Amino acid sequence: MGVFEIGSEPSVRRRRNRQPLTGPKRAAALFRVWHGVRDMIAEAERLGDAELVHFLAVAQLLVEEKATAIASGTTVFDEVDTGLPN
């Protein structure tokens, strides 16, 4: 049996130096995440997985709280039509 060596090269792919999102843009991004989680909850309900529904509902509440905190104490989701994603 021969011994072989696995080598790896450092990644040469460069990432853009992303600036953190400002308050309104960050709240908008969280709102899109909130809609995605809501869609996943609907799918989990369709599959009949109560444990997954509960987990996703908790995640949805955490995203909502974070977006509300970013928006300077106003309730973001009371001001916006949450019926359909933008």
Q: Please check the confidence at residue 11 and state whether its pLDDT lies above 70.
A: no
Crossing angle of the two packed helices 23-47 and 50-70, in degrees rounded to 10:
170
Indicate the average pLDDT of the chain: 79
Query: What contacts 72, CB < 8 A, 6 or more positions away?
Result: 23
Tell which wins on pLDDT, 40 or 67. Answer: 40
State residue 1's pLDDT score: 56
User: What's the confidence (pLDDT) of residue 79?
Assistant: 59
Q: What is the pLDDT of residue 47?
A: 95
The residue extents of the domains of the chain are: 23-72
User: What pLDDT does residue 72 have?
Assistant: 61
Q: Which pLDDT belongs to residue 46? A: 96
State the Cα–Cα distance between residues 76 and 70, nearest whole angstrom. 9
Amino acid at 8: S
The answer to whether 34 and 68 are in contact (CB under 8 A) is no
